Amino acid sequence: MSLKPELLEILVCPKCKQEIQANEDASLLSCEQCRLRFPVRDGIPVLLSDEAESY
């Protein structure tokens, strides 16, 4: 299950509060500033800094 694109407008990085970008199938959300990737599990974005993956 992926995210509806219109819902992404109301998400920011929990750490720096800057906009986050979804990948093509909205299975991952990335903060370019913090270089963090947030997973999306069963259509629910996990917006926790310590669950995010550095890249």
Residue 36's nearest CA partner among 26, 9, 6, 50 is 50
Question: Which amino acid appears at position 24 of this protein?
Answer: E
Q: Which of 12, 26, 27, 34 binds other proteins (CB under 8 A)?
A: 12
Q: Are 11 and 3 in contact (CB under 8 A)?
A: no
Q: Nearer to other proteins by C-beta: 15 or 37?
A: 15
Number of residues that bind other proteins (CB under 8 A): 21
* Integer Cα distance of 42 and 15 in angstroms: 23
Please report how close the Cβ of residue 13 comes to other proteins at its closest, in angstroms: 7
Name the site residues for other proteins (rule: CB under 8 A): 7, 10-15, 17, 19-20, 41-51
